[in-house]
Amino acid sequence: MQLTDTATAEPAGAVTGGLRTMLRLEGLALFLGMTLLYWVWDGSWWVYAALFLAPDLSFAAYLFGPRFGAMLYNAAHTYMVPMALMTVGFVTAEPLVLSIAMIWLAHIGFDRALGYGLKYTTGFGFTHLGQIGKKST
């Protein structure tokens, strides 16, 4: 099974056109919504600033190859864990857990708004939202 179209070097599953725009706008809405919720929640902006880029530390996994890198990066950039954290935070009424979940979701939304999607094992630049970075010619 071929993962890329050799003429364009785009992953076969990358979205394009209006759907790509909608997914990026959805990311922007998530970023703005979680940041607004964090503000209403009266969360510490020091904590927000300190943790906002934390999911990007998963990029270091690419030092061990594109397959492992994509797996860890995607695990840190899916909604599943921060949504589970948010649920636990509501159930336990634990403010720090809720804060971490909101910041994490804001980060994911910010990334998606900028076009940084979930990664294919082809390499860091190949995402479900299309190729990022310099395109090969």
Q: Could you tell me which residue, 31 or 13, shows the higher pLDDT?
A: 31
**Amino acid in the structure at residue 122:** T
**Reported confidence tier of residue 30, pLDDT bands at 50, 70, 90:** very high
Q: How far apart are CA 91 and CA 87, in angstroms?
A: 6
Q: What is the pLDDT of residues 38-79, one digit of tens each?
A: 999 999 999 999 999 999 999 999 999 999 999 999 999 999
Indicate yes or no: pTM above 0.95. no
Q: Are 106 and 30 in contact (CB under 8 A)?
A: yes
